[in-house]
Structure 1
Amino acid sequence: MGKRETAMGGLLTNAGYRITDKPPNASTANMGGHARAEALGLYQRLQGIRELERISSGTWDVAVQGNLLIEVDEENHFNRHRAATLDGTDYPWTADYLRYCAEYESRCRTNGGFWTSTSSECMFGPASPRGDHTGVGAPRWRQRALYDAVRDVWAQGNPGWSLARLSIYDVVDGVSFNDVLKGRQQIAPDRLRELIEARTLG
């Protein structure tokens, strides 16, 4: 997250949240049996090519007091593969995120490691030419969608933690949340809390 994570920390502090230590990464190794099967099933839905015994996401964006995890999703998180992982779900962010995936896929980056990587090709196969979505398309897009979905499943199956997802495409009181993160606009702290509460699972 970098600059956005730093900006989000400041916004949360201003809204009365207390930043705390993050839990371990979401992983099928620390899920119950049903959640683990669901996560591995999502890998198959994304046309994974290996028999995986374990899937682990990256680190969480922010954790705040009360065991609430907050993820801030930027432009590279919204595309056809993320939509595939959300299909049939009823998370607090599902409807908005499916719309963002449909409307903003063209903003996902296709250069370098945003399109493919060694680890993502091991999971999904060799990449198609840059920008070509026939065949495998972008293995890294698929991998990122999988890791986001693993976080969702982990949070849904772990009653000790709650998860809220915010997007740069969210609009609060007519203001782009991306502009808020970049310091170009402001929103009232209570409106940020309302958005977080509306998007919290668990």
Structure 2
Amino acid sequence: MKLSVYCSGSIAKGASDAGKLTWSDVERREVAKGTAPHEVVFLNPDDPITDPRNTLGQFGRDMYQVMVATAVIVDARERRGLGIGVEMAAAGTFGTPVLVVAPPNTKYRADRLEYRGVTVHDYVHPHVAALAAAVVDDFLAAGEALARIVDAGPPPRARHVPGWLGPAIDEYRDNVLGADLPMLAALRRLDRIPG
């Protein structure tokens, strides 16, 4: 079966981002290995967009990919920003499962944490815990969790696009998708007709 994964995580925007952990072929290979025998098509928010000045279309592209993905896999190996939180919330709205790669004793997960005056054991950040179908140690485990979700049957998906996402997705579909060669190639691989 063909699966699609939205690669949520930091994008290297320039020289100042050189030290950030980002999605690479290494992480994608590990996910693909974990989902075997399923085939994975990766939806990459860092693929070039035809008009980077079209910020609504760019946001719409990310939300469209989250909406059509089989799952969103979040790279939470280190601190992440606003965009990843929005992607996770949108995935929850669409019914797209979210899998979070947060190794033990990193920003979003700890064996032991002093938190609000108490000691918490097996801590997972509340937003991650609430939105994730699974929190795993690495990308291989994320692929394995995705395979289990798919093999158990499709989760219920939302049929309605909420107002806060609709205009951006419409802008992307109407004005950007037709020239978005990486996304069109991914849709062809998934046997989906854009529209």
User: Under a length normalisation based on structure 1, what TM-score does the superposition of the two structures give?
Assistant: 0.29
**Bigger fraction of residues in strand:** 2
**Bigger fraction of residues in helix:** 1
User: Under a length normalisation based on structure 2, what TM-score does the superposition of the two structures give?
Assistant: 0.29
